[in-house]
Amino acid sequence: MSPVLPRSRGSQIYLCLLVGVGVGLALVGVGHWRAGLLVVGVTFGLGGLARAVVPQDHVGMLRVRGRTFDIVWLTLLGVSLAVLALVVPPGPPA
């Protein structure tokens, strides 16, 4: 018996994005906050890119609001988290 995957391309991408955010949050949870934020940021950035290139009739669950809003918001959030993860200086050694 094969696993049941979502039918639309957008829903499959959405599932991949959920996995990416889950991995990032797991990294944050085990203490690797910088790597976790970078993974979440890259995941959101890829989500914005995916929203831009997936045809409208295949968007599925990837559509949150309008296309422009989704692209701008996901990209802005992704870049912001990635930049935050890269520019915050390391703290003193524990």
**What are the tokens at 70?**
């989704």
Say which residues have a Cβ less than 8 Å from residue 12's Cβ, sequence separation at least 6: 5, 6, 60
Mean pLDDT by 10 residues, the chain (94 residues): 69 88 96 94 93 81 78 94 91 72
* The pLDDT value given to residue 77: 95
Answering whether pTM is above 0.95, one says no
* The pLDDT value given to residue 54: 85
Say which residues have a Cβ less than 8 Å from residue 8's Cβ, sequence separation at least 6: 58, 59, 60, 61
C-alpha span between 69 and 48 (Å, rounded): 10
C-alpha span between 77 and 54 (Å, rounded): 19
